[in-house]
Amino acid sequence: MNTAATQTIELKRGNSGQRLSPSYFASRNVWDWLFAALVIAGAGTAFSLYGASMDGYEKGILLGAVPAVIWLGWFWRPLRALMVGVAVLSLLAISLYQTPEGTADLTRADHVFMLKYFISSQSAILWMSMLFFMSTIFYWIGMVTRAGGGFEGIGSRLAWAAITLALVGTMVRWYESHQIGVGIGHIPVSNLYEVFVLFCWLTATFYLYYEDQYETRSMGAFVMLVVSAAVGFLLWYTVVREAHQIQPLVPALQSWWMKLHVPANFIGYGTFAIAAMLAFAYLIKQSATESRWYKLAPLWILGLVLCFEPIVFRTSAAEKGGSYWFVYFGISLLIVGGIMFGRHRIAERLPSFEVLDDVMYKAIAVGFAFFTIATVLGAFWAAEAWGGYWSWDPKETWALIVWLNYAAWLHMRLMKGLRGTVAAWWALTGLAITTFAFLGVNMFLSGLHSYGEL
């Protein structure tokens, strides 16, 4: 039967009589093409306004970003609304920085209402932090109450709002850096403050994609815990180090490779974190059938490690922030205790083992691909900055360990059918290795990457 609503477009058939699907471009609707036109117009405007300030590499990145952004908007349609919203709010913030004379004045962030309270870079990032905390709370209310779906829906929407403001804060910070002085402007992925913002919104965005694809929101309670942990570190780092202040780049970071290497790296970190938290959920669901408490001891220890920021071990009594981490530890203890005591109810709400296992695998596969790209790009960057592709610097060595760990995990998955408990524990071990490579090396080891020391 052929009807207007269900008919599949048929092209010429070969001898086999096979029915061909419509072409990719023919299946686009008017909104897809309108979005593409907006992206092209935006890129053209950016080139006309700022092309004179771009070098050849930056022009190439802008040109390559156009089809990439269009494809992303076509691939997953919620991203279109996100991109348009971020663009509108970012341009509004930039316009509010303008004086009647047509020059930019960053002091306007102190007295223009919208900038001061909402969309200057620091205000937007603080809103991001609050919204991620609220999202986590609503996901967990949904996890433990009977009317869970409604609360989880609120958690999901709050996560989208947090991502929007994180990106607005990033874009506006990029603009602000260029207004401070000649040669200071740079893409905001150069220090721990900036990359933690990057980690938060990337991790949340990838999770929301899996939430949409698998049509379940119950994984969000676990994934948003790691995002909230990152926000907790970000707030501490802002207060203690005043890291929100925009600083000139150190010489090693004055490279266009940074614009590619760092985002690719943090796609890896974010998706590895998602896999680890889903592995934690997998083990909690599995533990619901276990009544012997001594059998659950490893999960107690693991839960504390997941919720307990590594930086606390470095915070001394003489340094600001000690009381902050004491409170943080107490909250973490309550969270882990609540999860363990309520594991039977949580297990009922979580999706099946098969779904958790499948998302864990896909997250690691995506993360491994981007981490591989980031490692190769990092080698090119090292050759430009230090004259060699590889120097066995501690950061490079631990990056290799992370890569080998996930390469082995994927090999065992694809070749030996790795599944279940072993895969979950291995994914969690991978998070510990990745966390040390990201933060631990900065804390305890020195080398060519010492500019990233905490």
| CA–CA distance, 230 with 330 (Å, rounded to integer) | 17
Residue 394 pLDDT > 90? no
pLDDT band at 288 (very low <50, low <70, confident <90, very high): confident
Task: Please classify residue 161 by burial: count the beta carbons closer than 10 Å to its beta carbon, then call 0-12 exposed, 13-18 middle and 19+ buried.
Answer: middle
What's the chain's length in residues? 454
pLDDT band at 8 (very low <50, low <70, confident <90, very high): very low
**What predicted TM-score, i.e. pTM, was given to this entire model?**
0.90
Tell me how far CA of residue 358 lies from CA of 47, 211, 214, 362, 410, in angstroms.
42, 12, 10, 6, 12
Q: Give the dihedral sign, CA 47/380/395/277.
A: positive
Give the pLDDT score at 446.
66
Comparing 180-189, 228-237, 278-287, 441-450, the range with the smallest average pLDDT is 441-450
Comparing 172-181, 205-214, 316-325, the range with the smallest average pLDDT is 316-325
Bridge partner list, 104: 98
Mean pLDDT, rounded, for 301-305? 62
Say if residues 228 and 296 touch (Cβ distance below 8 Å). no
**Domain boundaries, given as residue ranges, for the chain:** 29-46+56-67, 250-453
| 56 compared with 316, residue with greater pLDDT | 56
Give the pLDDT score at 12.
38
| CA–CA distance, 210 with 214 (Å, rounded to integer) | 6
pLDDT, averaged across the chain: 85
Instruction: Report DSSP letters for 194-248, one per residue.
Output: HHHHHHHHHHHHHHHHHHHHHT--TTHHHHHHHHHHHHHHHHHHHHHH-TTS--P
pLDDT band at 228 (very low <50, low <70, confident <90, very high): very high
CB atoms within 10 A of CB 67: 12
| CA–CA distance, 397 with 222 (Å, rounded to integer) | 30
| CA-closest candidate to residue 364, choices 273, 262, 264, 263 | 273
pLDDT band at 353 (very low <50, low <70, confident <90, very high): very high
pLDDT band at 13 (very low <50, low <70, confident <90, very high): very low
Bridge partner list, 98: 104
